[in-house]
């Protein structure tokens, strides 16, 4: 159902679609039923109320259950170029099942705006085009401010360059074959030299490097979703040998293929949904519009679905307040993983925030299971010269020198990936830090254990893991602050003293 050239609003059943490169930015929201979106690097299972953003030039295909109802809103590349030119070098990572803590409200707002867009599209009132444009502009602002990341080389390609898109589609369709620059140039009636310069100019990356990155993306999907040997994965995805794949993977992800697979092995490819179901029937339009009420009436102010709040009016007599210092909260800035401090731009921004705002705490996550700590490397040296804490030491030395402290977020999933290994590596890391930086610096650290999203584990299990983490941290750092944060629906919070 076309709205206008800038936007396209589609609502209906999606059974399956062949692999294709998305020419536009697409927002996909499942109103009923289920759907799986597969990209060149992973799978995205979607059920009722789930939301996914498909970026421009992203390769994808869909596989849905019969009778589903899916809302898809497409925003053209021309519209984005006119009103948000920065998107050319960006992409939006928004998948409602994997939202960082604190962004749930943003996702709820997007869902509500999408529902309002569909209602306006069906009602066709005098101002419906203005309403749709207003809603989509609001969604783009939310995505730009809350979900923007640096674009890949493919996503930077101009959607109006038809020849370049044909070349990229050819690479995507034949990446597992021994493609060469010369053969590709011949296929599109170009000289190899011209294609090399043209491709680098338009994408910012050389043809051969682009081809290897496409192969790597497909290899990563096989690594996560299959049990194939690494040698077979390399061969199936066009790499000349296992070493070529291993080298590019280590350069890109900072760890070995084996370690990455072990750390993410809980991810499984979704099973193909049946095309028809006995006794099932598609929802009527009235049923669908009734379902939209769920999105239209969502409470956007509720950031965490598992917690509640109570408002109480308090009368305060300022004349009774004793004279004294006015206390203020310590500022805290989250930067992602600790290794971000290695970037000069991040260090400069931290110093500016400290100077102008009094920043004290630098928030980090995935301290142990992320990419900051370097995986062990096989060596024939009698004494290893490469420390697994090289990156961490650079960052911590900078933070200690400039008077910062750490606010470390530890989520249940990070620990449960391999609980024994997590606590073993945490113990070694804490001993190293005590030896290098001293107890005073570590005593200023804060640790927050949290549940990033609704989990299937019991309350007693969450409590057991938290107390195990708490006891280890307190053993090595008695003065450090350790606590919990919502959502924490299944732990009896009065049994767990926050930040004790």
**162-263 belongs to which homologous superfamily?**
Homeodomain-like (1.10.10.60)
Q: Which residues belong to CATH 3.20.20.80 in the chain?
A: 323-495
Q: Which residues belong to CATH 1.10.10.60 in the chain?
A: 162-263
Provide the percentage of residues in the chain whose pLDDT is more than 70.
77
32, two tokens: 């009923």
Mean pLDDT is lowest, of 134-148, 253-267, 283-297, 359-373, for: 283-297
Closest by CA to 481, choosing from 489, 467, 470, is 470
Confidence at 487, pLDDT banded by 50, 70, 90: very low
**Bridge-based pairing state of the strands 59-64 and 34-39:** antiparallel
Q: What global pTM score does this model have?
A: 0.49
Q: What is the pLDDT of residue 329?
A: 61
DSSP letter, residue 329: P
Higher pLDDT, 42 or 396: 396
**Secondary element (H or E) of residue 312:** none
Mean pLDDT is lowest, of 279-293, 342-356, 399-413, 427-441, for: 279-293
359, two tokens: 């920043």
Could you tell me the CA-to-CA distances from 365 to 9, 336, 337, 413, 468 in Å, in that order?
Answer: 38, 6, 5, 12, 18
Domain spanning 323-495, CATH architecture: Alpha-Beta Barrel (3.20)
CATH 2.60.120.280 fits 7-150, yes or no: yes
Q: What is the mean pLDDT of residues 171-186?
A: 89
pLDDT digits (tens, 9 = 90+) for 75-91: 988 888 888 888 777 88
Confidence at 15, pLDDT banded by 50, 70, 90: confident
Confidence at 314, pLDDT banded by 50, 70, 90: low
Q: Which residues belong to CATH 2.60.120.280 in the chain?
A: 7-150
Q: How many CA atoms lie within 13 A of 113 on its CB side?
A: 23
Q: What is the pLDDT of residue 28?
A: 95
In the three-class reduction of DSSP (H, G, I as helix; E, B as strand; rest coil), residue 448 is classed as strand
Q: What is the pLDDT of residue 204?
A: 75
């Amino acid at each position: 159902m076309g709205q206008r050239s800038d936007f396209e609003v589609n609502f209906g059943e999606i059974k399956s679609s062949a692999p294709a490169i998305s020419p536009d930015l697409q927002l996909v929201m499942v109103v009923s039923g289920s759907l799986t979106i597969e990209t060149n690097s992973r799978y995205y299972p979607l059920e009722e109320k789930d939301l996914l953003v498909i970026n421009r030039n992203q390769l994808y295909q869909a596989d849905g259950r019969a009778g589903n109802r899916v809302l898809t809103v497409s925003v053209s590349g021309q519209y984005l170029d006119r009103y948000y030119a920065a998107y050319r070098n960006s992409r939006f990572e928004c998948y409602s099942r994997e939202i960082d803590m604190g962004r749930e409200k943003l996702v709820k707002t997007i869902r509500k705006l999408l529902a309002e867009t569909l209602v306006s599209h069906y009602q066709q009132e005098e101002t419906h085009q203005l309403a749709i444009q207003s809603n989509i502009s609001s969604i783009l602002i939310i995505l730009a401010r809350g979900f923007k990341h640096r674009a890949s080389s493919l996503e930077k390609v101009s959607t109006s360059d038809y020849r370049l898109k044909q070349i990229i589609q050819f690479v995507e369709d034949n990446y597992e074959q021994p493609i060469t620059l010369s053969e590709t140039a011949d296929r599109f009636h170009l000289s190899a030299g011209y294609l090399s310069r043209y491709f680098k100019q338009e994408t910012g990356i050389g043809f051969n490097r682009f081809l290897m990155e496409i192969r790597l993306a497909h290899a990563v999907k096989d690594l996560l979703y299959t049990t194939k040997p690494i040698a077979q994965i390399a061969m199936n995805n066009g790499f000349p040998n296992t070493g070529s794949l291993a080298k590019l993977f280590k350069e890109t992800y900072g760890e070995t293929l084996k370690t990455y697979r072990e750390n993410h092995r809980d991810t499984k490819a979704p099973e193909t949904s049946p095309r028809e179901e006995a006794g099932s029937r598609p929802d009527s339009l009235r049923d669908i519009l009734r379902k939209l009420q769920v999105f239209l009436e969502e409470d956007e102010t509720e950031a965490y679905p598992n917690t509640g709040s109570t408002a109480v009016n308090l009368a305060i007599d300022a004349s009774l307040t004793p004279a004294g210092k006015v206390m203020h909260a310590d500022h805290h800035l989250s930067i992602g993983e600790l290794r971000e401090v290695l970037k000069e731009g991040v260090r400069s921004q931290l110093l500016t925030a400290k100077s102008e705002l009094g920043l004290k705490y630098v928030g980090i996550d995935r301290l142990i299971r992320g990419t900051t700590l370097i995986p062990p490397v096989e060596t024939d040296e009698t004494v290893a010269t490469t420390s697994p804490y090289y990156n961490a030491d650079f960052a911590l030395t900078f933070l200690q020198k400039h008077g910062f402290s750490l606010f470390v977020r530890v989520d249940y999933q990070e620990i449960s990936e391999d609980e024994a290994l997590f606590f073993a590596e945490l113990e070694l890391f804490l001993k190293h830090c005590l030896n290098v930086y001293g107890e005073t610096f570590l005593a200023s650290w804060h640790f927050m254990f949290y549940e990033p999203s609704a989990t299937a584990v019991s309350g007693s299990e969450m409590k057991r893991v938290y107390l195990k983490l708490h006891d280890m941290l307190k053993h090595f750092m008695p003065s450090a602050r350790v606590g919990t944060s919502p959502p924490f629906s299944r732990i009896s919070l009065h049994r767990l003293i926050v930040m004790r």
